[in-house]
Amino acid sequence: MANQSQSNAAGNGSGLPRVLIADDSRIVRASLVQHLKDRFDIREVTDGEAAWQAILDSSIRVVISDLTMPKVDGYELLNRVRSSKVQRIRELPIVIISGEDETADRERAAGIGATDFIRKGVGASELITRMEVLVRLSSTREALAESQASLESSRTVDTDTELLNLPFFDKQVEKLVSYARRNLSDVAVICVRIELSLPNSDTWDGESDQRIKLVGRAIAASIRLEDLGTRSDKYEFCVATPSSGLSGVLRFAARLRKVLENAETAGPGVEVWTCIGVATLSEELRRNAEELRALAQKRAEKAQQNRSRRIILGAGDSDAGSVEPQPVEGSMDINLALALIRAGRAAEVVPHLPRLLQQVAPLLKLVRQQRELQAQPTAAEGGPHDDLQAVPR
């Protein structure tokens, strides 16, 4: 039936290389299938349009096509394949079926991009040999494309941290900046400077660097698909994110801080401290990606120099532009507060005391109830609550 496609193997479960045959002649298709069926998985279509749709099947290694077919002829099929934006399709080997006296047709097809030609009535041995050569060619091209993609990926991603390399990060942030300018939206760059507190002084060579790589992987796992991250210095990371407002950026920065500081991000027993600076495109629309990152880095460095847990941000480089924000929900918990106090950094806990008190309020209430129970007359004294049991200490 016209436009109907069929396969001599279910899917590609046969493990054989797949060849697509496009010809409106049932006799021609049957002859080719008879020659190839033992060495190849065959898919058949009856016109060029069906062939074009079938080529979307990435398992097809070679196409055998007639030139005169209904709907879309072989010339148009060649044009579509060779002008495809998909490299696999564009480089697909296409073999044209032609007659002995069709020299002009072969020359025209060769000019469009035909890979090879076979005569109608070609012998089995010659056909199989040609198909095997073209299948190897197709497989080699595909392997080369995969290698190139892998190489390109290795140039853009730091395998140690799973974050982008810095030059590629800047390039991608520049795209975010351009998009934000066109759509009157915003982009924020969050710079996080890291300090590690190792459990003892007997560290092994390269330990700090290995632990910083773990921090980088924690950042890579914490950011969203639309965000970009990079290791911008030995102990520094930058994250770029589309911004819908300063409060959202602050929550994002606080969440990063909580992830890095409240868990064993750098390994068991290693404390991680963060100093954070934020820069947004809306502060100065003329800034490019590198300038935006440099400003965030400068603010993070300032936070580190001042030994401040402030998230430094603002509309400029002056102190007035780096106003300490209100504590962001989730940026401090009891365990982190106690760790800071033990480390002699109690001043960093002070801005968060109201929220910390809210967190411990249920515990304080239980303590008061326990004391009240202990203050009541005991059973030996014959008080009114002889049967009341105290809450275990």
**Beta strands 157-158 and 163-164: pairing type?**
antiparallel
Overall average pLDDT of the 249-263 stretch: 87
If we measure between CA atoms, which residue out of 9, 100, 25, 15 comes closest to residue 64? 25
Neighbours of 67 (CB within 10 A): 21
Res 350: pLDDT:
81
Cβ(355)–Cβ(283) below 8 Å? no
Q: What is the DSSP string of 145-158?
A: HHHHHHHHHHHHEE
Encoded tokens for 219: 């950042």
pLDDT at 315 over 80: no
All structural domains of the chain: 6-153 (3.40.50.2300), 163-348 (3.30.70.270), 354-393 (no CATH)
Helix and strand totals (H; E) in the chain = 12, 13
Overall average pLDDT of the 334-341 stretch: 70
At 180, the amino acid letter reads A
Share of the chain above pLDDT 70, in %: 81
Res 177: pLDDT:
93
Res 250: pLDDT:
87
Res 219: pLDDT:
94
- Residue 297 sits at the vertex; the CA angle it makes with 294 and 301, to the nearest 5 degrees, is 140
Q: Is 334 exposed, middle or buried, given 0-12, 13-18 or 19+ CB atoms closer than 10 A?
A: exposed
- What is the spatial distance between Cα 360 and Cα 367, in angstroms, rounded to a whole number? 11
Res 385: pLDDT:
47
**What average pLDDT does the chain have?**
81
Of 9-18, 73-82, 164-173, 365-374, where does mean pLDDT reach its minimum? 9-18
Res 175: pLDDT:
93
Neighbours of 373 (CB within 10 A): 13
Res 130: pLDDT:
87
Overall average pLDDT of the 51-80 stretch: 90
Overall average pLDDT of the 172-191 stretch: 92
Neighbours of 83 (CB within 10 A): 11
Q: Which helix (H) or strand (E) holds 337?
A: helix 334-342
3-state secondary structure of 361: helix
**Please, which pLDDT band fits residue 100 given cuts at 50, 70 and 90?**
low
Res 320: pLDDT:
34
> Residues in the chain, how many?
393
Dump pLDDT digits (tens) for 9-60.
444 556 788 999 999 889 999 999 999 888 899 999 999 999 999 998 888 9
Res 388: pLDDT:
44
Res 332: pLDDT:
62
Sign of the C-alpha dihedral computed for residues 60, 65, 71 and 75 taken in this order:
positive
Beta-carbon-side half-sphere exposure of residue 17 (alpha carbons within 13 Å): 16
Overall average pLDDT of the 48-73 stretch: 90
At 4, the amino acid letter reads Q
Res 331: pLDDT:
53
Dump pLDDT digits (tens) for 142-176.
888 777 766 665 678 888 999 999 989 999 999 99
Q: Say what the pTM is.
A: 0.48
Overall average pLDDT of the 192-220 stretch: 85
Higher pLDDT, 47 or 310: 47
**Please, which pLDDT band fits residue 377 given cuts at 50, 70 and 90?**
low
Overall average pLDDT of the 271-295 stretch: 91
Of 98-107, 266-275, 360-369, where does mean pLDDT reach its minimum? 98-107
Q: What's the farthest any 2 CA atoms get from each other in the chain? A: 122
